[in-house]
Chains A and B, each alone.
Chain A
Amino acid sequence: MNYWSFERFFEAWPYILKGLHITVGVTISAFLFAAVFGLVWAILRRVENKQLNFIITWVMEFIRSTPPLVQLFFIYYAWPVIPVVGVTLSPFVSAVVGLGLHFSTYIGEIYRSGIESVGKGQWEAATALNFSTLDKWRKIILPQAFPPTIPMLGNYFIIMFKEVPLASTIGVTGILHMANSFGSTHFNLIEALTIVGIIFLALSYPAAVLIKKLEVKLNTRFDKNADIKPIE
């Protein structure tokens, strides 16, 4: 049985930190993927056709309620074998697509809630002022729908960051992967895994505090009850 060694603990830091840019890179790429794909879901959810809407809703539900780990395996191992559309993806791209797709269903719902939070009067006003559909969205709806969703998007960014170590199972060389390889050559994983925990905590906790602050600030700026204000 091996015991905790501070020597190994300090030795492991530089080795594990070499994987940090990969972890952060996957997080940012997957988040951008999810942010764009979430828009697709939000638009698809507005389809008027009942049957089609039903199908889209359940496809989203399926992606959302099945494990992201299995989805990663599907994209990494199964996708290349599928005839015609199959292509071999690198571990990095697989992780971005897998996690991005999984979280796009959540982000799509955030967009939807943002759009629905815009008061009915705003839509009516846009129609009354004879705005074109494009102008209505660009000048009236989206400027009001987007800001309240920023804290929620920030929260999902942190959630995704914490899901990225799943990608070490398909060989993405992020910090968890580096910790595993350090641990297996030094016959003890505990120090390396502790470091991974510290890194995650050190990055995600301040980020969460920051977002909380942002939320409070936005809440005072975009008061829902201040929907109708007299023009001065």
Chain B
Amino acid sequence: MEAILNISQELGRGLWVTISILIASALLAYLIGFIAGLSRLSKNIFIQKFTGLYIEIFRGTSLIVQLFWLYYAIPMLFGINLGSNWVIGVIAIGLNYGAYLSEVVRGSVEAVDSGQTEAAVALNMSSYQKMRYIILPQAVRMMLPEFGNYTIQMLKGTALVSLISLSDILYYGNILRSSNLSQAPLIYLVVLGFYFILALPLIFLTRKAEDVSKKGVAN
């Protein structure tokens, strides 16, 4: 018991890095998801193809490869140092899951009944008004469960940032293990426990989102 407490105390030092990366990358991914998802539906063929390319590249390769790639490429290609690995971690996770979320956004917008679009057109709404007041309010509630699921995936993805030497929960876990191999099972179980406790609120929110998205909708 005391051992668990000691391990937790040590791992707790990485808690903030994990949480802050999760929050920042989730916000970035939501933003990109909406922008790319709506761009994919744009009538402008150039915007449509360009976002399509972005989505296929980021969905077609692994997060770990993208993370390493950005880690080496950003300073090299742009000649700038972003100052911290934290930013690179957030960008990598945000871009990766933004691509997945944009497909969710696109799918939900397309799933709104075409009668709704026709009604908006019949009421002489501008295309902005149509999106803002008719389509999105209905599409967003359909997206909620998937957004919840992908947020849990992002939490799992944050563990990768320990590989670009950011001191998150797993980083401290690895340090503890390297100094005390016989305790490795306990250390990693506590690490898993940390991630699970962080995931719990997300799991319940996702379940709630599933209820919300079903309520009052006839299908």
- Name A's B-contacting residues (CB within 8 A): 1-4, 61-62, 65-71, 73-74, 77-79, 81-82, 162-166, 168-169, 176, 188-190, 193-194, 196-197, 200-201, 204-205, 208
Is A200 within 8 A of B65, CB to CB? yes
Q: Which residues of A contact B187 (CB under 8 A)?
A: 78
The secondary structure that dominates the A interface is helix
**Max chain B C-beta neighbours (<10 A), residue from A73, A77, A204:** A73
Looking at the assembled complex, report how far the CB atom of B15 sits from the nearest CB atom of chain A, in whole angstroms.
14
User: Roughly how many angstroms separate A200 CA and B157 CA in the complex, as a whole number?
Assistant: 18
List 16 contacting pairs A-B, 8 Å CB cutoff, sorted by A: A1-B79, A62-B196, A65-B199, A66-B195, A66-B196, A66-B199, A71-B192, A77-B184, A81-B181, A81-B182, A82-B185, A162-B63, A165-B64, A197-B57, A201-B60, A205-B56
Q: Which residues of B contact A197 (CB under 8 A)?
A: 57, 61, 65-66, 69
Q: Does B205 contact A (CB under 8 A)?
A: no
Q: Which residues of A contact B192 (CB under 8 A)?
A: 62, 66, 70-71, 74
The secondary structure that dominates the B interface is helix
User: Roughly how many angstroms separate A176 CA and B68 CA in the complex, as a whole number?
Assistant: 10
Is B64 within 8 A of A176, CB to CB? yes
Is A200 within 8 A of B195, CB to CB? no
Among residues of B, the one whose C-beta sits closest to the C-beta of A1 is B76
Contact partner of B155 among A65, A71, A164, A200, CB < 8 A? A65
User: Roughly how many angstroms separate A164 CA and B63 CA in the complex, as a whole number?
Assistant: 11
Is A3 within 8 A of B184, CB to CB? no
**A190-B76 contact given A65-B152, A65-B203, A162-B62, CB 8 Å threshold:** yes
User: Roughly how many angstroms separate A121 CA and B156 CA in the complex, as a whole number?
Assistant: 41
Looking at the assembled complex, report how far the CB atom of B10 sits from the nearest CB atom of chain A, in whole angstroms.
15
Is B182 within 8 A of A77, CB to CB? no
19 more A-B contacts (CB under 8 A) besides A66-B199, A193-B68?
Answer: A1-B79, A65-B196, A66-B156, A67-B159, A67-B170, A69-B156, A69-B160, A70-B188, A77-B177, A78-B189, A81-B184, A162-B62, A166-B64, A168-B64, A188-B72, A190-B76, A201-B56, A204-B61, A205-B56
Among residues of A, the one whose C-beta sits closest to the C-beta of B160 is A69
Among residues of B, the one whose C-beta sits closest to the C-beta of A81 is B184
User: Roughly how many angstroms separate A166 CA and B170 CA in the complex, as a whole number?
Assistant: 14
User: Roughly how many angstroms separate A108 CA and B196 CA in the complex, as a whole number?
Assistant: 20
User: Roughly how many angstroms separate A4 CA and B173 CA in the complex, as a whole number?
Assistant: 36
Looking at the assembled complex, report how far the CB atom of A198 sits from the nearest CB atom of chain B, in whole angstroms.
9
A-B pairs with lowest CB-CB distance, top 9? A67-B159, A65-B199, A78-B184, A78-B185, A74-B188, A201-B60, A162-B62, A67-B156, A200-B61
Flag B163-204 by CB within 8 Å of A: 1 or 0 each.
100000010011001000110110111011001100100110
Q: Which residues of B contact A79 (CB under 8 A)?
A: 185
Is B185 within 8 A of A74, CB to CB? yes
User: Roughly how many angstroms separate A117 CA and B173 CA in the complex, as a whole number?
Assistant: 43
Looking at the assembled complex, report how far the CB atom of B52 sits from the nearest CB atom of chain A, in whole angstroms.
12
Query: Which B residues between 41 and 76 are near A, CB-CB below 8 angstroms?
Result: 56-57, 59-66, 68-69, 72-73, 75-76
Is A200 within 8 A of B62, CB to CB? yes
Is A70 within 8 A of B160, CB to CB? no
